[in-house]
Structure 1
Amino acid sequence: MNTIKKYLGIVWIALSIAIAYYSIGIFGGKLTSGKQDDLVFGIIIFFILLPLIVTGLTIFGWYSLTNEYED
């Protein structure tokens, strides 16, 4: 079971990197579109939700790799 947790830790960290990469590509265009609605939506996603999601997945993956969930 511990090996599964370690492999899933790697998966969570890779998933957080992939989400960050694709979200910057997708929502980066919203910041430069020139429309008011796209700008507000892009700022909320890019500066509030994206860091929460990426750091949450990274911390969860790191804890899985370092056996913090052993107990």
Structure 2
Amino acid sequence: MWNVAVSPACIGSGVCAGSAPGHFAIGADGRSHPPATPVDPDDAILGAAASCPMEAITVTDADTGTHVDPFI
């Protein structure tokens, strides 16, 4: 399982919501939010993290807290 977080650096570009709509949504504040966490590992999450123009998405292993590299 992975924990997914979006930092306040998010500018709401929507790249993550467009590439992984089941894992990210733009909230009323205009920023991206993960609808649920922890989640099952999914390459779409890593793609969204790698595509974020602000590098605002963090993916960590839910058990160990180890950072999951979005550039795998």
Q: Which TM class, normalised by the smaller chain length?
A: under 0.3
- Structure showing the higher helix proportion among its residues: 1
Which of 1 and 2 has higher RCO (CA within 8 Å, sep 6+)?
A: 1
- Structure showing the higher strand proportion among its residues: 2
- TM-score, normalised on structure 1? 0.26
- TM-score, normalised on structure 2? 0.26
